[in-house]
Amino acid sequence: MEEVLTNPKFGFYISRDVFGTEGDFITSPEVSQMFGEMVGVWAMCLWEQMGRPKQVNLVELGPGRGTLMADLLRGASKFKSFTESLHVHLVECSPMLQKLQHHNLKCLDEDVNGDGVEKRTISTLAGTLVSWHALLEQVPSGLPSIIIAHEFYDALPVHQFQRASRGWCEKMVDVSEDSMFRFVLSPQPTPATLYLMKRCKWAAPEEIEKLSHIEVCPKAMDLTHAIADRISCDGGGALIIDYGLNGVVSDSLQVKTLTIVFGASASIMSVGLHGLSM
């Protein structure tokens, strides 16, 4: 699933703009600028509570088009002491979306020493430094961090498990005799089973007993630990906004076709889903 989402050439989030009326979905910042402005109010309140530090990393995970951050900076631009403390870090793996964020944040690239060697990017919305990273781990540590993740967790790849006579088995992709892709159950435990065991510990036994399917997101677990560790070491806070079931998720996969990226040529095929082979 991760390959389908973020393959460097054909990944769902890599090759095109999936947001807005012409994309696949619309997020809250695209509906009203008030959303980003209110997130900015939260960020400024947190900054005040931290004692107005002179330098702060303002980090957004999965910024999309950059709409939320643009509205945040535009709304906060009158509060100079706040915006002057910020270094905006956008965690984005899509080069295409990075360019769109650069445009929407009204960024200018400056030559620091006039020799073309060292450059920095400034958002003219509030005069703040802006940097891009593919991973949260690449954001410099050592400064307090204000971390924003809006509808980022639900974009992370998941692993699905089904209860069978031999216990919980991960659903995998296989090729049938007629060369069609299909879901099958793993014949033995997979690495993701470790995360399944962790997830089951967080739910009541009677809740797990009622389920025949369970879905886990290892990357979400690891990311949450990374955010907590960063804030614990450097100070700051995180605002994570997402939508979904408050409980054990059994199956959130809603597509009717299965997209597979495979082979040396990294070609893509979309095929109909067939029944699960036991």
Q: Considering the chain, what percentage of its residues have pLDDT values greater than 70?
A: 78
Q: Which residue has the tokens 């929407």?
A: 104
Domain contains 230: yes
Which two tokens mark 148?
A: 């924003």
Tens digit of pLDDT for each residue in 126-169?
999 999 999 999 999 999 999 999 989 888 888 888 888 888 88
Same domain as 208, residue 81: no
DSSP state of 190: -
Q: Is residue 54 part of a domain?
A: yes
The pLDDT value recorded for residue 206 is: 81
pLDDT of residue 262: 39
55 and 169 in a common domain: no
Residue 87 counted as domain residue: yes
Are residues 182 and 206 both part of a single domain? yes
Same domain, 210 and 227: no
Same domain, 170 and 259: yes
**Residue 55 located in a structural domain:** yes
| pLDDT tens readout for residues 17-41 | 666 666 666 778 888 999 999 999 9
Segments forming the whole domain that contains residue 208: 159-216+248-272
* Shared-domain flag, residues 37 and 112: yes
Q: What is the mean pLDDT of residues 185-207?
A: 81
Query: Is residue 164 a part of any domain in this protein?
Result: yes
Domain count, the chain: 2
CATH number of the domain that residue 133 is part of: 3.40.50.150
pLDDT reading at 200 higher than 80:
no
Q: Judge whether 65 lies within some domain.
A: yes
pTM: 0.79
Q: Which of 152, 148, 62 is nearest to 98 (CA)?
A: 62
The answer on 173 and 137 residing in a single domain is no
Can you give the pLDDT at residue 98? 93
For residues 263 and 126, state if they share a domain.
Answer: no
Q: Residue 7 — pLDDT band, cuts 50, 70, 90?
A: low
Q: Are residues 146 and 11 in the same domain?
A: yes
CA distances from 135 to 5, 190, 223, 271 (A): 15, 25, 10, 31
Q: If phi over 0 gives left and psi between -120 and 50 gives alpha, with beta otherwise, what is residue 114?
A: left
Query: pLDDT tens for residues 221-244?
Result: 899 999 999 999 999 999 999 877
Q: Across the chain, what does the average pLDDT equal? A: 82
pLDDT at residue number 150: 93
Q: Are 33 and 169 in the same domain?
A: no
Within-domain flag for 61:
yes
Would you say residue 226 lies in a domain?
yes
Tokens of 131: 């940097």
Residues 192 and 116 in one domain: no
Q: 86-95, 96-105, 184-193, 225-234: which has the minimum mean pLDDT?
A: 184-193
